[in-house]
Structure 1
């Protein structure tokens, strides 16, 4: 679609919300460590039921209301590294100072102006991800900007807030959460809607990510950064797509949402030409399916009913595609699922799923459907089924009027699915348990600005002779602190060079991982000891791979004690020379024919004997010397 559509002409507006965990020692409102645990380590659990509360103005947030349509039980796994604050059984402590310092350094990088006094707010969230039913957040800075190839993008919002609990398992009527993640400090960065193309969205996200990593104080790895994307087109509506974890997916997300809104507007135009409408009666069609062979309906009829709604003029449109593989009927189904049903049926896709042609005919006759009319039905417990049909009617009416404002969930293929309505201002109210924090001009000016990763990469090329690719790889790598520590030790070492260190960390280690080696067992200390051994000359650099494979299997093993076991102990030079002389002597005719061209083929034989024990350059020089002697005799 990106090749066919002029996004400027379409009126695309896009903004990003970046949520990045901070690498502080303690959580935002307690002294617990920011450590992720294995759920098997949980030492107790408890459960809660959550309800939305009204704001100070007496209003209840619409998104919170929809989240409680299904009465779910929320189960929380706690640990010896979590406390009563996470359990919501004790008031929060003062806001963590280290986290605030990190957030202010990010504000400086984004040219933002901090508030003079920081106030913590409560943001209502009743999906179970917070034991309290709200998330604590504080607006820290605004008025910033980010330079991009398409011009400056405004950065309007920088908040410091607590991370939510991690969802472990959705069991339908109950959801299991882990409390280890709850309360980890994070920043939320919100841009202005200045992004004008999908590629521009990706560039902007990449630039913000680079700035964040430049601090050296943000967590790395899956789930530590999440991107929400706000998207609209001129005749559409603002939609927030949450949970984009991969940078490479942002461009597709924007493309697909623009495509969805264009297709929804086209469907609306076609429906209005047909004079389509929505019939608000919900029909009980259970008796029509008493003898059905549909497994889904037979299962539902044991405890529930089959309900249906009539959509005059919608025939052929419910099955229309709005995103690749997703149709208007999928949009109806997403809304229905908020009532707890598994999905819906509609006549654009029937007969199917065990439902016969005769049953479809009976259904259409019962509800009074004409040729251009569509029928949507659901089979479940009556309360759920009725709620589902009410949601379908609402969504069908919206299809005739506008593209609805929604919060949607990013899907792995770049599509999105409905989550809830966009929240309103009534979801926020003051947090009275946390004191405000003064941010003086002197305090903000004293915050240091870190060196950008882009500048650091240039410095690595200049100072250590790394090529541009390797310099960028290590500058953006999570092993950057290790590299800088190693270079402090080996900057003048002719054996352990910057190139050797970077190719080992960013090249060899990923290769080992692809080969099934558990590289997670290789620690920074293993790397340091390995390079010390190579620097001392006890092992050639070719032996690094064997050492790393060994420590990955036996992470507690002493590397020096393992060298003999690995066959990497130092070899006397006379032994090497004798072996090479023998190789050359046994291949006199080959050497006579090839001359110095014999070096390459014979080097393989020599390396097979001494790989990892002797530096390849040393072996190459000795081999050249012996071949030259043989040629001249």
Structure 2
């Protein structure tokens, strides 16, 4: 039962999802380069670019692209031995990858969507450096689908096949450094209709779509391979796009946090209206801090630095008002200022602080003619950055008079969000003339078994318990599990090994993810042949993880994990019993438990427990 403080029906919550999922194809979308990820230190060369926005076919320039370009950042790209001229934007792209097209049609069928007759590739202007060309290529492939949730159906309005962006490595003094290993990986984008009415329904819809995607067996797994954007609005608010949700389990909290932010902004709007609030023009207040002892302000003003301030009429006490946990209206102002090269802002709801004195605050207020009900916001930086930043603060303050601005926001690790850029418009899209259209239809497309159906089948046909059945069906090693069962491996042993055992070893720091599927199958083959025991499987997996070049048989021989012969097992049991003969005579079968552990330890996992148990009972019976 929800514990939310909000009545979402009364607030008029409307939400929609955009799911971005990387496809696990052999080649990238417009070239033959591999889709494997690389480490930045593997880079073999670099090059730099400056990117600028261009006009659409109608002569319009997208507002989000304009704001991004205003930062005038330089972008550095890390290339690899697999990087081609298409990825560097020095050669036209090839045709849409056939494998990627087949996978998206399979996904469309699972979502009950209708494919378009032809997929036409479009260019989407993106000048944040994440694509070397300054745009992302995207093609609409299907529409008019739906999924079910407990609170009703959610429509699937559209699905695009597009190229993944370059991976951001780090911020540099002059801009951003990107790696090209990710650029061009096929990506499917699935957009729902604005049908979601609660945070819980948003989470359920995302989980349902995620399950359908994984059911194909053709999507990449792991952090960063799937991202959710959430569009949220309330009746008195505005549509806000929350980008970069990495975990499905966080979606409900993120939606609730955004509702809270919009509710608070609406309340601030109403309060500002009652106060007949306004925003003045920024002024230079550098002289106020000419003798300051504040290290932060003084450092920013060193050289030719300037302090710029704006009077916010009627904003007193509201700039410091909390919108979300540890995020205030002043934080919103600072987010906009940071886009122009400053570290943040100062405002009178939090001053004196940072070494700024009460006397300096009074002088600041006098310099801008601030009254008792007014607030003052200030930035200190080089002249160009200070001017641009204070203008951005003033613009955002004026927006607060109207309530909630439409914008794109970046989700933070704590589930709150920060300003990223204005909402993009239609002016960012125009046709890609280098890539021919592709005919689409469902002929030859096979709909896969859903993961939910696999769970049911594993329970009914393979007799797995519900928890283990779900764990293996949703796990990365599901194809390995099915291959093992096809070879006659006991399903419970196979599932427990590839999931439970592997998970426990991973938690202990064993690099079990480095063990290839073929090695697991070799291990199962050794077990079926009686050459290793159940008790040896853990140790053998550790050996294979630490020595990935060894075969399972070689690893078993190296670690001495081969099964002991019948005579060796009996000899070990007899030796343990004879060494504890007095205890056996006194306790009889009461000594069994302690001696069983000693026997298994003596054999080092090279004998099955039931065999050792039977022999031990027999030897104790002879002496009791």
**TM-score, L = length of structure 1:** 0.95
User: In 1, distance between residues paired with 2:329 and 2:105?
Assistant: 45
Q: CA deviation at 1:334?
A: 0.6
Asked whether the equivalents of residues 202 and 247 of structure 1 are also in contact (C-alpha less than 8 Å), the reply is yes
Cα separation, partners in 2 of 1:371 and 1:527, compared to 1, 3 Å: same
Please name the residue that 2:191 is paired with: 190
Please name the residue that 1:535 is paired with: 528
3-state SS, counterpart of residue 478 of structure 1: coil
Deviations along 1:514-548, whole A, 9 cap, x unmatched?
22222233221221222222221122111111112
Cα separation, partners in 2 of 1:514 and 1:45, compared to 1, 3 Å: same
3-state SS, counterpart of residue 401 of structure 1: coil
User: In 1, distance between residues paired with 2:3 and 2:72?
Assistant: 42
Deviates further, 463-472 or 294-303: 294-303
Please name the residue that 2:484 is paired with: 486
1:97-116 correspondence to structure 2 within 5 Å: 97-116=98-117
Asked whether the equivalents of residues 106 and 216 of structure 2 are also in contact (C-alpha less than 8 Å), the reply is yes
3-state SS, counterpart of residue 444 of structure 1: coil
Please name the residue that 1:367 is paired with: 368
User: In 2, distance between residues paired with 1:427 and 1:595?
Assistant: 84
Asked whether the equivalents of residues 519 and 551 of structure 2 are also in contact (C-alpha less than 8 Å), the reply is no
Please name the residue that 1:19 is paired with: 20
3-state SS, counterpart of residue 10 of structure 2: helix
Please name the residue that 1:150 is paired with: 151
Deviations along 1:186-216, whole A, 9 cap, x unmatched?
1100001111111111111111000000001
Q: CA deviation at 1:22?
A: 0.8
Asked whether the equivalents of residues 88 and 131 of structure 1 are also in contact (C-alpha less than 8 Å), the reply is yes
Cα separation, partners in 2 of 1:606 and 1:433, compared to 1, 3 Å: same
Q: CA deviation at 1:601?
A: 2.4
1:113-512 correspondence to structure 2 within 5 Å: 113-279=114-280, 281-302=281-302, 303-439=304-440, 443-491=441-489, 497-512=490-505
Q: CA deviation at 1:365?
A: 1.4
User: In 2, distance between residues paired with 1:465 and 1:372?
Assistant: 72
User: In 2, distance between residues paired with 1:596 and 1:400?
Assistant: 84
Q: Does 1:526 align with 2:519?
A: yes
Structure 2 portions without partners, runs of 5+? none
User: In 2, distance between residues paired with 1:188 and 1:521?
Assistant: 30
User: In 2, distance between residues paired with 1:42 and 1:579?
Assistant: 56
3-state SS, counterpart of residue 443 of structure 2: helix
User: In 1, distance between residues paired with 2:444 and 2:555?
Assistant: 49
Q: CA deviation at 1:588?
A: 4.8
3-state SS, counterpart of residue 27 of structure 1: coil
3-state SS, counterpart of residue 106 of structure 1: helix
Deviations along 1:294-317, whole A, 9 cap, x unmatched?
222222212421111000111111
3-state SS, counterpart of residue 223 of structure 1: coil
Q: CA deviation at 1:599?
A: 2.5
User: In 2, distance between residues paired with 1:260 and 1:60?
Assistant: 30
Deviates further, 305-314 or 606-615: 606-615
User: In 2, distance between residues paired with 1:406 and 1:483?
Assistant: 45
3-state SS, counterpart of residue 605 of structure 1: helix
3-state SS, counterpart of residue 279 of structure 2: coil
Please name the residue that 2:600 is paired with: 607
Q: CA deviation at 1:388?
A: 0.9
Deviates further, 580-589 or 503-512: 580-589
Q: Does 1:32 align with 2:66?
A: no
Cα separation, partners in 2 of 1:25 and 1:564, compared to 1, 3 Å: closer
Please name the residue that 2:546 is paired with: 553
User: In 2, distance between residues paired with 1:470 and 1:166?
Assistant: 35
Cα separation, partners in 2 of 1:170 and 1:10, compared to 1, 3 Å: same
Please name the residue that 1:494 is paired with: none
Cα separation, partners in 2 of 1:46 and 1:153, compared to 1, 3 Å: same
User: In 2, distance between residues paired with 1:508 and 1:222?
Assistant: 22
Asked whether the equivalents of residues 544 and 555 of structure 2 are also in contact (C-alpha less than 8 Å), the reply is no
Please name the residue that 2:563 is paired with: 570
Deviates further, 160-169 or 508-517: 508-517
3-state SS, counterpart of residue 91 of structure 2: coil
Deviates further, 186-195 or 526-535: 526-535
User: In 2, distance between residues paired with 1:269 and 1:596?
Assistant: 81
Asked whether the equivalents of residues 86 and 183 of structure 1 are also in contact (C-alpha less than 8 Å), the reply is yes
User: In 1, distance between residues paired with 2:551 and 2:444?
Assistant: 45
User: In 2, distance between residues paired with 1:223 and 1:97?
Assistant: 24
Deviates further, 16-25 or 603-612: 603-612
Q: CA deviation at 1:273?
A: 1.8
User: In 1, distance between residues paired with 2:12 and 2:591?
Assistant: 67
Cα separation, partners in 2 of 1:259 and 1:593, compared to 1, 3 Å: farther
3-state SS, counterpart of residue 94 of structure 1: coil
3-state SS, counterpart of residue 143 of structure 1: strand
Structure 1 portions without partners, runs of 5+? 492-496
Q: CA deviation at 1:553?
A: 2.0
Q: RMSD between aligned alpha carbons?
A: 1.6
Q: CA deviation at 1:79?
A: 1.7
Q: CA deviation at 1:567?
A: 2.8
Please name the residue that 1:596 is paired with: 589
Q: CA deviation at 1:461?
A: 1.8
Aligned length, in residue pairs: 622
Q: CA deviation at 1:592?
A: 5.3
